[in-house]
Amino acid sequence: MKEDRALFSADHRQLWRMAEPAIWTLKESHPEEDPATSIMRTLWDQPRWLEAYHLYDDRGSELFEQICELPEYYLTRTEQAILERDAAKIIAAAPVNSIVELGAGSAKKTTHLLTEQIRLRGAGIFAPIDVSLPGLILSREFNRAHLPQIEFHGLHARYEEGFGSIDKGLPTLFVFLGSTLGNFNASSFVRFFSQLSEAMGPKDFLLLGVDRVKDRDILEPAYADSQGLTAEFILNVFDNINHLVGSNFDLVKMRYYSTYNADWQQIEMYAVSTEAQDIRFASFNTSFCWEKNDQILVEISRKFDPERLQQQLRFFDLHPVLHCTDPKEWFSLLLLKKLA
């Protein structure tokens, strides 16, 4: 194992232990809210909704991987093509020693950046942050096999726990791809950028991949695929919830519905009850009646105007450096620099 102190700040290094070769975990984790409380809080809200992260149990992660391959789901391959074409330009514009990726699922895309880092600078650190240990192990094995010049440190943690421990003196490119930002609601968006910007040092950059506002005829099929994978992905969250809070959601008594809300510039993904049903929560000794045709908002996927987003991010001290897009202008990769 090579020197790791360069990655963590001196005052955070002792918070981590190595759980697996080259994979770090926090000795103690203090999440802002545990998953069960989050579920109960949002299911009693008006209207009822869920935080998107509950979608990613093992089955949900597997289904999302399959969604990325769907012909209707243009996001993954469009972003991949931009990275393939522009990785050299991005890395040249961001003189860094390390690349910290939020999420470990996009190894294929990040490879373009790491390959350019090796070509231009001969070496570097790669630190993906993810709550999925299998994802980090896959990423480590891929790195070992294909990018031996890169020093790998997987961080098994939530994004904010991971990026908050990176040494601000180490020039770092934070990478947040796949338009995952689109799954954040307005308050999560502000919390995320406030925390990330605070964690960034004066030599740091952020590469952000976002899906753009476009015609509903392109957007809606991407979230209502003919194979029914998106429906399975969205409804699977109720299996995870049953497991987490001892509830009795019955997937047979619900259907998936999605639409593009043009006013809010977001795809909305709902579970709709097909009959009145009593939903009981054994762990919390409570219940509610889910009326026929009532909806639970399971996920939103916001679509962005890149110019407006760049303007907005200035208020988090993140200033635009590069804007890469595809020929159809469906997806954008924004490179931003933290202002000291």
- Contacts with ligand AVI, 278-317, as mask; x by CB under 6 A: ---------------------x-x----------------
User: Which of 106, 110, 183, 332 is close enough to bind ligand AVI by CB under 6 A?
Assistant: 183
Q: State the binding string over 78-117 for ligand AVI (x if CB under 6 A, else -).
A: ----------------------------------------
**Shortest spacing between CB 282 and ligand AVI, in angstroms:** 29
Q: How far is CA 298 from the centre of its chain?
A: 16
Q: Maximum Cα–Cα distance for the chain, whole Å?
A: 62
The stretch near ligand AVI (CB under 6 A) out of 23-31, 162-170, 175-183, 196-204 is 175-183
Query: Distance of CA 176 to CAs 6, 93, 193, 236, 283, Å?
Result: 21, 17, 12, 25, 35
Q: How many residues bind ligand AVI (CB under 6 A)?
A: 12
Closest distance to ligand AVI from the beta carbon of 232 (Å): 10
- Residue 94 CB, nearest approach to ligand AVI (Å): 23
Instruction: Give the binding range for ligand AVI (CB under 6 A) out of 23-31, 135-143, 153-161, 174-182.
Output: 174-182
Q: How far is the CB of 256 from ligand AVI (least distance, A)?
A: 10
CB of 118 to ligand AVI, least distance (A): 28
Of 227 and 287, nearer to ligand AVI (C-beta) is 227
Nearer to ligand AVI (CB atom), residue 97 or residue 332: 332
Minimum CB–partner distance for residue 9 and ligand AVI (Å) = 29
Q: In whole angstroms, what is the distance from residue 322 CA to residue 332 CA?
A: 10
Cβ atoms of 86 and 325 closer than 8 Å: no
Q: Which residues in the chain belong to E strands, given as ranges?
A: 16-20, 23-26, 98-102, 124-130, 150-152, 154-156, 172-176, 205-211, 254-261, 266-273, 277-281, 286-290, 295-302, 318-325, 331-338
Residue found by looking up tokens 């930002």 in the block? 181
Q: Binding residue for ligand AVI (CB under 6 A) from 124, 178, 209, 306?
A: 178
Which is closer to ligand AVI, CB of 181 or CB of 335? 181
Q: Is 223 in the site for ligand AVI (CB under 6 A)?
A: yes
- Residue 179 engages ligand AVI in binding (rule: CB under 6 A): yes
Q: Which of 205, 201, 207, 208 is nearest to 170 (CA)?
A: 201
CB of 305 to ligand AVI, least distance (A): 17
Give the whole-angstrom CA distance, residue 122 versus residue 149. 7
User: At which residue do the structure tokens 């990325």 appear?
Assistant: 68
Q: DSSP letter for 254, please.
A: E
Please give the Cα distance from 10 to 26 (Å, whole number). 15
Contact segment (CB under 6 A) with ligand AVI among 6-14, 176-184, 213-221, 280-288 equals 176-184
Q: How far apart are CA 325 and CA 209, in angstroms?
A: 10
DSSP 72-124: S-HHHHHHHHHHHHHHHHHHHHS--SEEEEE-STTHHHHHHHHHHHHHHHS-E
201, 100 Cβ separation under 8 angstroms: no
* Per CB under 6 A, 230 contacts ligand AVI: yes
Give me the residue whose beta carbon is nearest to ligand AVI: 301
Q: Does 25 bind ligand AVI (CB under 6 A)?
A: no
Task: Answer yes or no whether residue 67 interacts with ligand AVI by CB under 6 A.
Answer: yes
Beta strands in 262-330 (DSSP E): 266-273, 277-281, 286-290, 295-302, 318-325
Under 8 Å between Cβ of 302 and 180: no
Which residues make up the interface to ligand AVI (CB under 6 A)? 67, 75, 178-180, 182-183, 223, 230, 233, 299, 301
